[in-house]
Chains A and B, each alone.
Chain A
Amino acid sequence: MLKGDNLWFRYGDRLPWVVQNRSLAVAPGEVLGLMAPSGYGKTTLGKLLAGYLPPNKGQVTLAGKPLPKKGYSPVQLIFQNPDLSVNPRWRIRQILQEGYPPKHAYLDALGIHSGWLSRYPHELSGGELQRIAIARVLNPHTRYLIADEMTAMLDANTQALIWQGVLAFVRRQQVGLVVISHDEPLLKRLCDQILVLVDGSSPQPLRHQGQGFHPTTRNAT
C-alpha cells in the first residue's frame, strides 16, 4: 500500500500552498485516477508520492514505512515530457539500461524497435521517446508507478499502445498505478477508482482527513 497522509507542500516559506491536506492511498494492482484542472497541484502531488519532493507536513509511506532514500526506488514517476527526462548525450540503449534492463516482452509490447537503440534521443519522436522513458522503469523492482500526464501530448494510437503495454505490466506484476490526468474519458477507461481534486486554494484544517477529495465514479469495465 502506497499512502500519502495529510500532505502539505509549498515551494517556499512565503509562497502559497500548492498541495493542501491531501490524502490518498493506492493498493498493489489497483489503478487509481487523479483528476483536476490545471494548477491544482496534480504534478506536485505526484512528485510528493514518488519522493521527488519532501512534503512540508504529512508523510508518504510504503507498506507502513517511509520511502527508501537509497537504491532503486520502488515508486517510479513517469514525466509528462520525455525530452527532459532523458540525457540528450546518451544513446537509447544506455538510457534503457540505466536502472534494470527491461524484458524484451515489454519492449515489444510498447513497440520499441531494436533499430532505435543506437540512436540519440533527438532522433526519436516524442511518442517514441516516451515509450523509452516508460520501458526504462518496467521491471519487477518497480512496485508503484505514477504516470503524470504520461500520454497527454501523444496521438490516440500511441496512447492506446502505451496504455495497453503499461496495463499488461501492472496486471502481471501487481503494480499499483496512479494515473494523473485531466482527461476524464481516458481515466474512465483505465481506472478502478477516480479521485477528483477540488478547491486547491482554500486552506483545509489538518484534521479533516481526505477532505480534499471527492471519490466519484467507480468504473466497471
Chain B
Amino acid sequence: MTITVNSPQKSPQKLWRIWRQNNRRQQTLGAIVLGTLFLLGIIVSPWFLGESGLSTVLTQRNQPPSLAHLFGTDWLGRDMLRRSLHGLSLSLRVGLLAASVSALIGTGLGLAAGTFGGWVDAVIIWIVDVFFSLPHLVLLILIAFAVGGGTKGVIIAVALTHWTSLARVIRAEVLQTNSSDYVHLSRHLGKSSLWIARHHMVPHIVPQLLVGLILLFPHAILHEAALSFIGIGLSPHLPAIGIILAESMRHLSTGYWWLGVMPGILLLLAVKAFDWLGENLRSLFDPKTSQG
C-alpha cells in the first residue's frame, strides 16, 4: 500500500531533482543557443531588412531615439538602427573570415611547434615574441597599408596579427599532453603515435581551438572597426560599424549623441555575446564543469 501511495508523490520530486541536477548544463546550453541566435540574427539581418530605411528622408533629419526610430536618425534622415545592423553585419562577416584564417595559422604553427620541438619550436616562438613586442595597432596599420588597404587589407592585416596567442595555447597544450604520464603509459599499452594523437591529443586540442577561435572574433571585429574608424580600413561608402562610428564623431559636439552611442552599444553587445559564447563553450567542453 505504502509503495503505491508513495510512488506518485515521489516521481514529481524525482523529476524536479533531475531537473535541478541538469540545471547548470542546461543553463550553459541555453546561453550558447541564445548567444548564437543573437549573433546569427545580426549577421543575416541585412537580407531581411533589405534597403528600406537606408535612403535619405530629409524631413526626418537628426531625430533622437523614438519608437519609430529606436536608434534615431542621422543628418540625412536615415534610420540608424538599420544602418547599424547593416554595418555590424558587414563587420562581423569580415571579422569572422579574418579570425578563422588567423585560427588556422595559429593552430598549424602551434601544432608544429609542440610536435617537432627543437629549432622549429624556437623559430615559431621567436616569431610569436616579435609579434607580441610590436604595438598591435601599428602592426595592423603597417600590414593593411602594405597590401593596399581596403577590405582585403583589413582582412589580411587582422588575420596575420591575431594568431599568436592561440598558437601559444595550442603549443602548450601539445607539450603538456605529450609529456603526461598517461601518454607515456599509452605507448607502453602498445598504442601508436597516430592513435595517441587521435585519442589523447584531439580531445585536449579541439576545445582549446574552438574556444580560442570564438574568443578571437571580438578582437578581430574590434580591430577591424578601429582600422575603419581611422580611415584605412573598409572604404567610406560601405556602412561598416567603424565608418558609422567615425562619422558620428563629427556630430557629437552638436549634441547628436545617439549617432555614436547606439551603434557603440550594439557593437559592445555583439562582442560581449562572443565572449559569453566562448566561456560557456569552454565550460561545456571541460568534464569538470560540464556535468551536473
- A contact residues vs B (CB 8 Å cutoff): 50-52, 70-73, 76-77, 79, 81, 84-90, 98-99, 120, 122-123, 136-137
Contact = CB atoms under 8 A, between A and B. Distances in A.
A89 B189 contact: no
Contacts of B189: 72-73, 98-99, 136-137
A85 B188 CA distance: 12
Interface in B198-226: 200, 203-204
A71 B185 CA distance: 12
Interface of B: 180-182, 184-186, 188-191, 200, 203-204, 287-288, 291
A117 to B, nearest CB: 14
A87 B200 contact: yes
Contacts of A86: 182
Contact of A72 (B181, B182, B190, B291): B190
A88 B190 CA distance: 20
A76 B188 contact: yes
Contacts of A73: 188-190
Nearest to A86: B182
Nearest to A71: B190
A79 B181 CA distance: 8
A87 B182 CA distance: 6
A81 B288 CA distance: 19
A120 B188 contact: no
A158 to B, nearest CB: 20
Contact of A120 (B184, B204, B291): B291
Contacts of B200: 87
A117 B280 CA distance: 26
A141 B181 CA distance: 21
Contacts of A87: 180, 182, 200, 203
B181 A88 contact: no
A86 B291 CA distance: 18
Nearest to B180: A84
Contacts of A89: 203-204, 287
A89 B180 CA distance: 13
A90 B183 CA distance: 13
B188 A122 contact: no
A76 B184 CA distance: 11
Contacts of B291: 120, 123
Given A73-B189, A84-B182, A85-B182, 17 more contacts: A51-B188, A52-B184, A52-B188, A72-B188, A73-B190, A76-B188, A77-B185, A77-B188, A79-B181, A84-B181, A85-B181, A87-B203, A89-B287, A99-B189, A99-B190, A122-B287, A123-B291
Contacts of A70: 190
A135 to B, nearest CB: 13
Contacts of B188: 50-52, 72-73, 76-77
A120 B290 CA distance: 11
A99 B191 CA distance: 8
14 contacts: A72-B188, A72-B190, A73-B188, A79-B185, A84-B181, A85-B185, A87-B180, A88-B287, A88-B288, A89-B287, A90-B203, A98-B186, A98-B191, A137-B189
Residue in B180, B184, B188, B189 whose Cβ sees the most chain A Cβ within 10 Å: B188
Interface centre among A72, A76, A86, A88 (most CB of B within 10 A): A88
Contacts of B287: 88-89, 120, 122
B259 to A, nearest CB: 49
Nearest to A133: B185
Nearest to A99: B189
A84 to B, nearest CB: 5
A154 to B, nearest CB: 18
Nearest to A94: B199
B44 to A, nearest CB: 35
B25 to A, nearest CB: 14
Contacts of A120: 287-288, 291
Nearest to A89: B203
Nearest to A75: B188
Name, among B182, B189, B288, the residue most crowded by chain A CB atoms within 10 Å (CB to CB). B182
Nearest to B195: A98
Contacts of A76: 188
Contacts of A136: 189
Contacts of A137: 189
A2 to B, nearest CB: 14
Contacts of B204: 89
Contacts of B181: 79, 81, 84-85
A73 B188 CA distance: 5
The listed residue with most A CB atoms (<10 A of its CB), out of B180, B185, B189, B191, is B185
